[in-house]
Amino acid sequence: MRSIGVMVLGLVVVACSSQAGNNGGGGSGANGGTGGFGNAGGSGNSGGAGNAGGAGGASAGTCMDIMACIVKCPDADATCPDTCYAAGNPTGQSQLLALLDCMSKNQCNDAPCTETQCSNELSTCLDSSTDPGGTTNPGGNVPPGSIPPELVGDWSSAGADEVSELIFGADGSAQHINYKNSGIGSCGVSIVASWKVGSVVASGDQLTITLGPGSTSVVWDAGCGESYVNPTEGRVLTYKYALQTTGTPGMWLTDLSCTGQYCEEFYKK
């Protein structure tokens, strides 16, 4: 059982009222009448909520980020859950609402019900925390790559709880791995997404990275939930890039498919 994930959702259900018009599946959180989220009641955490995004990396503001933010909301802060939700990216927001809607329709407010009735929505929410964006590459076809010598190497972008790694070879090959460490309460979870070796093509100031199929692994701390591995489709990622030679040497990548708040990342060798 992914029990800790469901426990998080239980807290979110108590804290939130779905914008679809439900009360989060029988939780005690109040709907403030605004169509948004109510107070994060009873989480037991008096610390600040932080932010659902901004951790660095393309996954900032995912469904998992929003949930982790909401359950940290102080009991007395009625606006905190709305702030967490607003900081999420559009995909993360829609995934969270889909999960809450599923739980409400099936009247789920415990682990067994959610795991049975909403397992797809739950997995989607967790797996998306390492989603690199871009578009899918269902066929997994990879064209030849070509990049200038200055782009060859192992590049990484690190945030508070995640690392995005790009490895470019002199032959135009490309590898992409995303790591994320998160947790709720005393339970931690590590999520790693990786793809088969693909290619990278530089044209002007644009990079196109084509990746074959891969996998996402979710590993909970002992006693916190069941770990699992899911297959993922290949990806086509497009970026505008700019090398930085002053200060800290590195490379700025702007995700051309990004529609959220966190579209630019800084990578170092």
Quote the pLDDT of residue 242.
Answer: 97
- Those residues of the chain that have pLDDT short of 50 are 1-5, 7, 11, 13-59
- Prediction pTM value: 0.64
pLDDT for the residue numbered 111: 57
Give CA–CA dist 83/55, Å, rounded: 16
With 0-12 / 13-18 / 19 or more C-beta atoms within 10 angstroms meaning exposed / middle / buried, residue 35 is: exposed
Distance CA 119, CA 116 (A): 6
Helix or strand or coil: residue 14?
helix
- CA-CA-CA-CA torsion for 16, 95, 255, 192, nearest 10 degrees? 100
**Distance between alpha carbon 142 and the CA centroid of its chain, in Å?**
25
Helix, strand, or coil here: 81? helix
The string of DSSP letters for 94-108 reads HHHHHHHHHHHHTT-
- Write down the pLDDT at residue 209: 96
pLDDT of residue 225: 67
**Which residue from 229, 141, 166, 224 is spatially nearest to 192, judged by alpha carbons?**
229
Q: Residue 234 phi/psi, 5° resolution?
A: -65, 165
Helices 119-127 and 63-70 cross at an angle (nearest 10°) of 90
pLDDT of residue 112: 63
Question: What pLDDT shows up at residue 23?
Answer: 34
